[in-house]
Amino acid sequence: MKITRIEAFQVELPYAGGSYHWGRGNVIRTALTTVITVHTDEGFTGCGESCPIGGNYLAAFAEGIVPALSLLAPAVIGEDPREVHAIERRMDAVLRGPPYAKSAIDAACWDILGQSCGQPVCVLLGGRLTIGGSMYRVVPQKDPHAAAQEMEVHRSAGYRQFQIKVGNDWKADIDRIINATSLLEPGETAFADANRGWSLNEALAVVHAVRDTGVMIEQPCDSYDECLHVRRRTDLPMKLDECVTDLKMAQRVVVDQSAEVVCLKISNLGGLTKARRIRDYLVEHGLSVVCEDTWGGEITTAAVAHFAASTPASLLYNTTDLHNYNTVSTGQPPPVVRNGKLYAGTEPGLGVKPDTQVLGEPLAIYTESSNED
């Protein structure tokens, strides 16, 4: 089997909640997502999706996913998509660093591998170790009454973990954390996600002010070293996110004992192949992980669902249903969400097909003949 054609589509995903606020002044109303289809000479077609968003992933906009594909696609056309590690090495050889375009191609290859052997991707990633991954929902940056009402809506849908978006005004963040944690019911947890928004001094002031809430602090500062500095000066649990971009950083987390939880975003790591490697390393050392991605639609969420399902249940902190954040779909059928949990499908591959009516005509097409040109 060999890859004969790769197509790239882009579509805007309006946020279902109108405006999504996080970090230091970041707002999402619409995200631009890229869907990749990989075609083979044996009739199998796989799909992947990558949707970096906002200032926290600005490098993805600077690199440009579609321009990156002009280097990546010729490198893998003619190769066997089922050999995911070989595909990974070829992509890394022609384009060092930028992970987002690689992630979509990588997911499409896993999709083809699953289809070709009749197995869902989670089985190929190690097995279905979690039946329904618990999800979290965001506590909005609204007044306390509105926040309480929205939390109750999520609670009635089965959610028991809540992400408090902070990182803009550190003094107001203290009040937001104290208010949100006071609304928690027995068995519920909360984590305050600054998305790198606090300076070192601000982060230290916040963690000291909210120490009695027991809240988990997520990615308080921009750099790993700053986060580690905060970690060593608080007894609150720590979760790291944006600063963990590869296996070497995961190894530092283990050696430094800098977190209890690590958030693994598939696109930010360069695809399922790399994400699985990092996940398995962290799990082997007893750390809990979050299985998610930067943003995206049904195709992204399908990959997330399989990634989460192949994680040991005792060490899967949570996951999320990104496709339900949007008013536009990228694929069908959507992954199953029930009672606050995300379920990986049982169909071969990712179990989702691109929504051609939404995606429209491809933005770019790469073939064997274009390689020759």
How do residues 159-199 score in pLDDT, each as one tens digit?
999 999 999 899 999 999 999 999 999 999 999 999 999 99
C-beta of residue 50 within 8 angstroms of C-beta of residue 296? yes
pLDDT at 313 over 50: yes
pLDDT at 61 over 50: no
Listed as own residue / partner, the contacts of 88-96 with beta carbons closer than 8 Å and 24 or more positions apart are 88/270, 88/271, 88/273, 88/274, 95/68, 95/71
Percentage, residues of the chain above pLDDT 90: 84
Tell me the C-alpha distance between 275 and 298, whole Å: 19
Q: 102, 165, 274, 341: which one is catalytic?
A: 165
pLDDT confidence tier of residue 54, bands split at 50, 70 and 90: low
pLDDT confidence tier of residue 25, bands split at 50, 70 and 90: low
Is the Cα torsion angle 58, 320, 256, 85 positive or negative in sign? negative
C-beta of residue 209 within 8 angstroms of C-beta of residue 196? no
Classify burial at 21, counting beta carbons within 10 Å of its beta carbon; exposed 0-12, middle 13-18, buried 19 or more. Answer: middle
Q: Mark 323-340 as b/e (b = at least 16 C-beta within 10 Å).
A: bbbbebbbbeebbebeeb
Tell me the C-alpha distance between 73 and 109, whole Å: 12
| 3.30.2350.10, 3.30.750.24, 3.20.20.120, 3.30.70.640: CATH of 123-353 | 3.20.20.120
Q: Select the more confidently predicted residue: 268 or 64.
A: 268
Q: 102, 239, 265, 274: which one is catalytic?
A: 265
Q: Out of 42-46, 193-197, 205-209, 303-307, which region has the weakest mean confidence (pLDDT)? A: 193-197
Sheet containing 3-14: give its strands across: 45-50, 30-40, 3-14, 364-367
pLDDT at 60 over 50: no
Tell me the C-alpha distance between 286 and 118, whole Å: 32
C-beta of residue 106 within 8 angstroms of C-beta of residue 87? yes
C-beta of residue 16 within 8 angstroms of C-beta of residue 7? no
Residue 66: what pLDDT? 81
Residue 27: what pLDDT? 78
Residue 44: what pLDDT? 98
- Domain extents for the chain? 3-118+356-372, 123-353
Mean pLDDT for 280-297 is: 97
DSSP secondary structure letter of residue 57: G
Element (H, E) at 134: strand 133-134
Tell me the C-alpha distance between 132 and 176, whole Å: 30
Tell me the C-alpha distance between 69 and 364, whole Å: 9
pLDDT confidence tier of residue 62, bands split at 50, 70 and 90: very low
Sheet containing 238-240: give its strands across: 136-139, 161-165, 189-193, 216-218, 238-240, 261-265, 288-292, 316-319
Residue whose C-alpha is closest to residue 22's, from 249, 198, 240, 204: 198
3-118+356-372 in CATH: which number?
Answer: 3.30.390.10
pLDDT in tens, 65-112: 888 999 999 999 999 999 999 999 999 999 987 899 999 999 999 999
Residue 194: what pLDDT? 94
Mean pLDDT for 217-226 is: 97
pLDDT in tens, 123-153: 999 999 999 999 999 886 777 888 889 899 9
Residue 371: what pLDDT? 62
pLDDT at 55 over 50: no
Ranges of H-type helices in the chain? 58-63, 65-76, 84-94, 100-117, 121-124, 144-156, 170-182, 200-209, 224-231, 247-256, 266-269, 272-284, 298-309, 356-359, 368-372
Residue 59: what pLDDT? 44
Angle (deg, nearest 10), helices 144-156 and 170-182: 50
Residue 355: what pLDDT? 96
The question of whether 142 is a catalytic residue gets the answer no
What lies within 8 Å, CB to CB, of 353 at 6+ separation is 47, 331, 332
The question of whether 265 is a catalytic residue gets the answer yes
**To the nearest whole number, what is the mean pLDDT of the chain?**
93
Mean pLDDT for 223-233 is: 98
Residue 78: phi, psi to the nearest 5? 95, -10
Mean pLDDT for 308-329 is: 97
Q: What length is written for the chain? A: 373
pLDDT at 267 over 60: yes
Percentage, residues of the chain above pLDDT 70: 95
